[in-house]
Amino acid sequence: MTMTYLTLPHLGRRIAVGEGRTILQAALDAGIAYPHSCRSGRCGACKSRLLSGHVELARHSPFALSEEERAGGFILACRATPTQDVTVAWLDETYHAEPAVAQEAEVAAIDRMTHDILAIRLRLADRAGFRFAAGQYLSLSVPDAPPRNYSMASRPDEELVELHVRAVPCGRTSSRIHAALAQGDKVRIEGPAGSAYLREAHSGPIVALAGGSGLAPIKSIVETALHAGLDQPIHVYFGARAERDVYLVEHFRALERRFANLTFVPALSQAASDGWRSGFVSDALAADFRDLAGAKSPARPPWWTRPWRFSPHAGCRRTTSTPTCS
């Protein structure tokens, strides 16, 4: 077998890529904190420029990587398997990663947010050693279930770490959490991880989209931005099917009253009462997008410097680091 190699010039690293391994897998295996999120070609967080060599790209969402971008030499590291030696540069020059740490945590509180979403608050054994950026996620391990990734909903400066866990049909971990996890239980966490986090140096508008428990990282990002004194317009769009599927509405409306630069727009795809938008959250954004020119979204790669563009066919979904099946 001929070994292929991956060169990352901005790190001065050259690493071997095992047969059938993607660029992202090879980098993570080598202990490199490569920017990424979903690992399945849906979010675009690992979008990179192929400087030399050739790769085979597995199936991915055009929302994450368009044909125009592919023709321009861009790839998704999570879907790119080298067929020869390659040189690759990730695009996010502001990306940094705190080292992931594993430690024990105690369940401090559990609150029911909706019929299928729980808010879990954890007291970490070493909170000072767990440094995360607003929008990142951790891996949670509970007894008798496989580890799963959940985004932090709390701010980085808060003592308790808050997670939002939606009950997924047939999901071993989420089912275990909803059925058996209790206050005082011990769990294991490892993290942080994820590149879809708040860039406080960004001075333009911020657009945040969420659906269901995808509100967790948005809550962390928005609250952190507001408490840090960021004064640019912040637009939060939260979509759900029916009123029973939404939560923290009053919380965000209270923030909206307190901070003049925050706009909160809930949208229901089924029948909506007064004060709610009707239709998909993508429709609500499409109706307002003229007012969002120049915005950045923490759901998109932070190197997205073009004026905000919206395509309903691209799937205006909040691409979080929280997996759809848990």
pLDDT tens-digit map of 141-192:
999 999 999 999 999 999 999 999 999 998 999 999 999 999 999 999 999 9
Indicate where the chain has its CATH 3.40.50.80 domain(s): 206-314
**For 101-193, CATH number?**
2.40.30.10
The structure's pTM equals 0.74
- Tell me what pLDDT residue 231 has: 94
The residue-averaged pLDDT of 113-134 equals 96
- Tell me what pLDDT residue 138 has: 94
Which residue did the predictor score with more confidence, 271 or 197?
A: 197
Query: How close are the terminal C-alpha atoms of the chain, in Å?
Result: 37
Yes or no: is domain 206-314 CATH 3.40.50.80? yes
Indicate where the chain has its CATH 3.10.20.30 domain(s): 4-90
**Cα–Cα distance between 157 and 121 in angstroms, integer?**
14
**Cα–Cα distance between 61 and 103 in angstroms, integer?**
35
Please answer whether residues 255 and 226 qualify as being in contact, where contact means their C-beta atoms are separated by less than 8 angstroms: yes
Percentage with pLDDT > 70 across the chain: 85
Which residue did the predictor score with more confidence, 87 or 202?
A: 87
296 secondary structure, DSSP code: B
Assigned fold of 4-90: Ubiquitin-like (UB roll) (3.10.20)
Indicate where the chain has its CATH 2.40.30.10 domain(s): 101-193
CB proximity list for 233: less than 8 A, separation 6 or greater: 205, 206, 261, 263, 295
pLDDT in tens, 244-270: 999 999 999 999 999 999 999 999 988
The residue-averaged pLDDT of 77-98 equals 86
The DSSP string of 44-65 is: -TTEEEEEES-EEEPP--TTTS
Highest mean pLDDT among 14-23, 32-41, 311-320: 14-23
